[in-house]
Structure 1
Amino acid sequence: MTETLEETPPDTVTRAKVPEAAEDEKTRTAAAAKDAETVDTPTKTASDPVAESAAEKDIVVRSREAAADNEQQGRDRLRQTNWVLASVGAAIVVISILYGQPWNETVDDDRRAGGIGIPLSVMVVGFLGLLQRGEGGLLAYLRGKDKRLSTSLTQIALWTVALATAFLYFISLDVLSDEGRYALDMTLGSAWKDFPEEYLLLLGGPFAAAVIARISVGTNVDQGRLQKTEANQTKLRDVVSDDDGRGSLVDAQFLVFNLVALVWFTAALVIDSTALPGIPPVLVGLTSISALGYTASKSAEANQPVVNSVTRNLGGGLGGIRPGDLVEVRGANFVPPGAASEEFIAQLAVRFGAIDVLPEIRLDEGGRVRSPSNTSIIARVPNTLPSGSVDVTVITAAGAQTASRPVTIVPDKAIITGLEPAFGTPGEPVVVRGRFFFGPQAAKGAQPTVLFDDVYARPTKATDEKLTVTVPPELSGESVNLIVIASGGIEPSDVVKFRLHPKRSS
């Protein structure tokens, strides 16, 4: 049973003995290492600091290598994509010219116009790609600031190419025949009042969606409600996926309805090549509604990081947070979408006051990063941090910063909370309960020491919160001053009065 301790007033305590104990700590630590087999070492869940350091260095090296590999793979993928597009474009040009035979006046005018208009359209698109060859070719027009393919920009590009090809076809047909001149007049000339208004929605819908989405996303990022990271590689699936690579039904619906409208447009133009074909109102309505859903989805996106709690890491024992302690920061959205790779994990930081600390790395059995995670970060409190209140914030790989959460840093010293039994007998064991008996930087095998007046005693069992030690047989008197000298170089505990029973006769 633990009783309330009676602390000795400062003027009755001889403090000169404590420095002597501190100076002799190295000698006792060496002796403890030799007798480690007979002393129970404290159980801690934290990894060995050397292993942690090696893991962190390995993660940093791997993240740099991964970043370089991803950058190279991205360049290779862009080159391959542009070569594929160039090959497809060349094939379309060759097929169109061979089939249309624009030089052969015996061939139908619409075929000859196709043999001119389609190659011209492909060449214009290819020229635009060459203008941006240093930025990814044609994909430069379709990517957002985050280097992902944009759903809305992709649809703008598809409709632009489709309509441009149609107009070039009409112009070619106008040059070759009177029928074509009528078709051109219907679309650009005197019959402008009959221009199908649905095309304004089909082209303007994705355009408006792209503009509104960019403004909404930019505003949310600037105000800290949304985190965006750059993609390692530009992928085709970006047009139907969110930033994490998961399929997005809203994006897919927006794309599918517009693709259906494009198929209708192409088929109708082939059937009647004298004017722009009409698009069914139902299809126009579906594309417009999906555009509204897309913009609403982008405006509602939010993944602001937040810190909910800062506590001593599991296994660190009870009590307050000290300099050098491992703490667990819990919250949400520490890992932004698309930033789960080691390259981005290595960019996380925990800020204690004005000091930034990299998180501790924890790996699973497969060598993958288990911590930090989206909801938890383990970090070590800087040793130079003074006691008192300090603000803790998390800085994510996207550069977003959480609101600060104040925590109290307690002095780095051992604390005695109880003695069992409250009255000891020389030569018999006593249990000293408390906190911080092992400093955060305690060497492996180092043990705390209990000082009974001027007599040192080494525990037979020791954890961070409990010491079992034998009361020195040579003690006498009614009471002694008891101090715990913790391992790891932290301050000794305050002095407590330990009452003694008379030594039992043998």
Structure 2
Amino acid sequence: MSVDAAGRQAGQHGPYEQHGQHGQGTAGGHGRSATAAAAGRATEAGTRTECDCGDCPRGARTGHRQAVAAFLALREDFAAGRGVPYGLAHSAGAARQWISDELAQSARAVAERAAAAGRARGEAVRRRTPLVLWGAVGALLVVQSLTAIGAGWTDSRTAALAAAVVLAALLTAAARWHHGGLLAPVTGPDNRLSTSRAVATAWLLPVVWAVLMFAARLALAPDAAERRRLLAGLDLSRGAGLLTVVALACAATVAAARLASVRIRTGRQQKVPAEYPRAGDLLTDDAGRGSFADAQYVLLNAVAVVFAAVRLAAEPDRLPDLPWGLVVLAAVSAVTYLAGKYAEGARPVVLSVVRAREIGGLDGPVRTGDDIEIRGSGFVPPGAQPPHRLARTVVRIGTVDVHVPLVPVPGGFANPSDGVLVVPVPADVEPGRAEVRVITAAGAESAAYPLFVQE
């Protein structure tokens, strides 16, 4: 369906009244804009018992849900041909532009609510971090107490508990002083949880705890012979496997960050920031789809961390000795993860530009006022599916920038899409040869594609 056809469909359905905003009637407004009408219907359908002030965590989430409900109601109304002002009903171009502007305005309201909800989530995580940390310390104390019933309390138990207290205190201070809380070190520049940073952190925290535990045991050692025995447990020959895996995880983190930075600067990868970090980011790509590279990296390293923790619990006098087969497997997983990061993403590519023709229409050359269909790939980068980001897609025809109109259909949008964009050729485009470029929501620009505009 072309953009003109979608505009006519939206403008030819339903009765229109003469009491709309600015003297124009709407299909469902009675003096309100379509956005306000949809928001009113979503509010009436929902509950008013929750706070929607936007200043507290619960209120921000409620406000976001209400904004999303209002946007969905508005989109479905337009997709069904309702809500278009009477004065625009007979102008397909004006109707489609009005629909796109109304949807973009409502989408911006959703984005603002989502940003507020993201800030509220971050503040809630920062407040709950001490509870989680000290709850873990309490759980360790309970486990140590239960296992000591028959065997008795030992210096290793005291050292393990003391190391946990010191580590929890350091992490609590970091969460309190840093505005991003403990999620900041594992959150990437795109505001998503970084898989490589999370895996490296999952290795570093147990290693730091083990070193603190050894330091506490050295302080509690009764004589020099006991101290020498404990220091022997830190020998490189015993902890080489563990240190190799930790080095691999840290190297993969640095390499992944450098790879993403270079590819973004050179235009070979498109990155769209997320609204807020989610736990699912560790196993998915930027579009929220499951990622094999990320999933295998997380799962294999999680198993390896558990294996190392079991070995340390069984032999608390030495660093856990990881078998070299497990080390090689971790290396293969890291290489697979980096290869997956290198392979993902691409810049927008225009393959062809043709004149859009409706069913029953006449063929002919491209003239000003016609719709053109741009075919290619990479027009909607991963993470740009939210409507306020779709509205930022631009087609440059010669020197004229044309914002791609949002064309709603039940359940989504027909335009723009990742492989096809439909835009009108504005009157400001001079007849003759022109170049067509696509600028995505990530800011990436495609190479020029020639287009001839007939007089």
| Counterpart check, 1:237 vs 2:280 | yes
Q: Is contact 2:129-2:175 (8 Å) kept?
A: no
**Structure 1 unaligned spans of 5+:** 1-45, 412-506
| Cα drift, residue 180 of structure 1 | 6.3
What is the match of residue 257 of structure 2?
A: 214
| Counterpart check, 1:174 vs 2:218 | yes
Q: Is contact 1:348-1:358 (8 Å) kept?
A: yes
| Counterpart check, 1:330 vs 2:375 | yes
What is the match of residue 154 of structure 1?
A: 198
What is the match of residue 94 of structure 2?
A: 50
The alignment partner of 1:69 has SS state of helix
| Counterpart check, 1:80 vs 2:116 | no
| Cα drift, residue 126 of structure 1 | 2.1
Distance 1:303-1:97 versus aligned 2 partners, 3 A rule: same
- d(CA) in 1 for partners of 2:372 and 2:130? 55
The alignment partner of 1:61 has SS state of helix
Aligned counterpart in structure 1 of residue 413 of structure 2, from 369, 372, 377: 369
Q: Is contact 1:324-1:383 (8 Å) kept?
A: yes
Q: Is contact 1:92-1:119 (8 Å) kept?
A: no
| Cα drift, residue 295 of structure 1 | 1.0
Q: Deviations over 1:92-139 (max 9, x none)?
A: 2344457769xxxx942122112211111111122222332x2x2111
- Tell me which amino acid in the other structure corresponds to 2:252: A
| Counterpart check, 1:91 vs 2:135 | yes
The alignment partner of 2:239 has SS state of coil
Alignment of 1:281-360 (within 5 A): 281-315=324-358, 317-360=362-405
Q: Report the identity percentage.
A: 31
- Tell me which amino acid in the other structure corresponds to 1:130: R
- d(CA) in 2 for partners of 1:193 and 1:306? 52
| Cα drift, residue 301 of structure 1 | 2.3
Q: Deviations over 1:358-406 (max 9, x none)?
A: 112211134x322110011111112121111010100000000000111
What is the Cα-based RMSD across aligned positions, in Å?
2.1
Aligned counterpart in structure 1 of residue 308 of structure 2, from 265, 290, 293: 265
**Segments ≥4 residues shifted beyond 6 Å:** 98-101
What is the match of residue 435 of structure 2?
A: 391
Aligned counterpart in structure 1 of residue 188 of structure 2, from 131, 137, 144: 144
Distance 1:180-1:170 versus aligned 2 partners, 3 A rule: farther
73-82 vs 162-171, greater mean Cα deviation: 73-82
Q: Is contact 1:97-1:116 (8 Å) kept?
A: no
Q: Is contact 1:229-1:337 (8 Å) kept?
A: yes
- Tell me which amino acid in the other structure corresponds to 2:158: R
The alignment partner of 2:271 has SS state of coil
- d(CA) in 2 for partners of 1:392 and 1:314? 19
Distance 1:318-1:180 versus aligned 2 partners, 3 A rule: farther
Q: Is contact 1:146-1:231 (8 Å) kept?
A: yes
- d(CA) in 1 for partners of 2:378 and 2:172? 41
What is the match of residue 165 of structure 2?
A: 119
What is the match of residue 421 of structure 1?
A: none
- Larger proportion of helix: 2
- d(CA) in 1 for partners of 2:218 and 2:381? 54
Q: Deviations over 1:7-49 (max 9, x none)?
A: xxxxxxxxxxxxxxxxxxxxxxxxxxxxxxxxxxxxxxx9822
Q: Is contact 2:242-2:320 (8 Å) kept?
A: no
Q: Is contact 1:201-1:284 (8 Å) kept?
A: yes
The alignment partner of 1:65 has SS state of helix
The alignment partner of 1:308 has SS state of strand
What is the match of residue 201 of structure 1?
A: 244
Q: Is contact 2:369-2:424 (8 Å) kept?
A: yes
Q: Deviations over 1:226-279 (max 9, x none)?
A: 111111221111111111111112211111111111111111111111111211
- Tell me which amino acid in the other structure corresponds to 1:389: R
Q: Deviations over 1:35-80 (max 9, x none)?
A: xxxxxxxxxxx98223212211122112211211221121222233
- d(CA) in 1 for partners of 2:142 and 2:408? 61
How many aligned positions are there? 356
- Normalising to structure 1: TM-score of the pair? 0.67
Q: Is contact 1:147-1:233 (8 Å) kept?
A: yes
| Cα drift, residue 147 of structure 1 | 1.2
- Normalising to structure 2: TM-score of the pair? 0.74
What is the match of residue 148 of structure 2?
A: none
- d(CA) in 1 for partners of 2:433 and 2:94? 30
- d(CA) in 2 for partners of 1:317 and 1:223? 42
What is the match of residue 452 of structure 2?
A: 408
- Tell me which amino acid in the other structure corresponds to 2:408: L
Distance 1:272-1:94 versus aligned 2 partners, 3 A rule: same
Q: Is contact 1:109-1:173 (8 Å) kept?
A: yes
- d(CA) in 2 for partners of 1:138 and 1:270? 26
- d(CA) in 1 for partners of 2:280 and 2:310? 26
- d(CA) in 1 for partners of 2:226 and 2:357? 79
What is the match of residue 49 of structure 2?
A: none
Q: Is contact 1:303-1:333 (8 Å) kept?
A: yes
- d(CA) in 2 for partners of 1:81 and 1:184? 38
What is the match of residue 128 of structure 1?
A: 174
| Cα drift, residue 187 of structure 1 | 4.9
Q: Is contact 1:360-1:380 (8 Å) kept?
A: no
The alignment partner of 2:188 has SS state of coil
| Cα drift, residue 217 of structure 1 | 2.0
Distance 1:47-1:332 versus aligned 2 partners, 3 A rule: farther
Alignment of 1:23-62 (within 5 A): 48-62=92-106
| Cα drift, residue 195 of structure 1 | 4.4
- d(CA) in 1 for partners of 2:418 and 2:267? 17
70-79 vs 112-121, greater mean Cα deviation: 70-79
**Structure 2 unaligned spans of 5+:** 1-89, 146-151
- Tell me which amino acid in the other structure corresponds to 2:375: R
- d(CA) in 2 for partners of 1:306 and 1:194? 53
Q: Is contact 1:180-1:274 (8 Å) kept?
A: no
- d(CA) in 1 for partners of 2:365 and 2:120? 53
373-382 vs 316-325, greater mean Cα deviation: 316-325
- d(CA) in 1 for partners of 2:323 and 2:384? 42
The alignment partner of 2:450 has SS state of strand
| Counterpart check, 1:382 vs 2:422 | no
